[in-house]
């Protein structure tokens, strides 16, 4: 561990664990909200999309993200597919 890392770690500890707790909570809560507020078919849609993508590219099970974003008067279905690095592709 470099000296810079050492000081960064130290600073983190001094800042207290509450800020880490808050960050983690913000992430998990927003993730869980997007899942529960979405329509019932989201998990199935995600699963099927994953199968289609996998016909062409090898991806991790969590490479496909499907979320519904609610805006004032309409909803946006957001699909996010993370492709692997060039070297890991099947073809």
Partner 1 sequence: MSRIIVVTSGKGGVGKTTTAASLAAGLAQSGYRTAVVDFDVGLRNLDLVMGCERRVVFDFVNVINEDARLNQALIKDKRLDNLALLPASQTRDKDALTAEGVERVIEELRAEFDYIVCDSPAGIERGANLAAYHADDAVVVTNPEVSSVRDSDRVLGLLASRTRRAEQGEPPVREHLLLSRYDPQRVKKGDMLSVEDVREILAVNLLGVIPESKAVLNASNAGVPVILEDDADAGQAYSDAVARYLGEQRPHRFLEVERKGLLGRMFGGQ
Q: Which residues contact partner 1 by CB under 8 A?
A: 14-19, 21-22, 24-26, 28-29, 32-33, 36-37
Least CB distance from residue 31 to partner 1, whole Å? Answer: 11
The nearer residue to partner 1, 21 or 79, going by C-beta atoms, is 21
Q: Between residues 36 and 74, which has the closer beta carbon with respect to partner 1?
A: 36
* Structural contact between residues 30 and 38, judged by C-beta atoms closer than 8 angstroms: no
Determine whether 68 is exposed, middle or buried from the number of CB atoms within 10 Å of its CB (0-12, 13-18, 19+): middle
In the complex with partner 1, which residue's Cβ is closer, 48 or 69? Answer: 69
Least CB distance to partner 1 at residue 13 (A): 10
In angstroms, what CA-CA distances link 61 with 31, 36, 41, 58? 16, 20, 18, 9
């Amino acid at each position: 561990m470099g000296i810079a890392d050492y000081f960064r770690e130290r600073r983190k500890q001094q800042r207290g664990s509450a800020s880490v707790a808050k960050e983690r909570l913000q992430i998990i809560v927003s993730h869980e909200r997007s899942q529960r507020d979405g329509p019932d078919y989201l998990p199935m849609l995600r699963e099927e999309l994953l199968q289609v993508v996998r016909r062409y590219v090898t991806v991790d099970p969590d490479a496909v993200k499907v979320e519904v974003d609610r805006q004032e008067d309409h909803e946006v279905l957001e699909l996010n597919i993370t492709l692997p690095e060039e070297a890991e592709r099947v073809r």
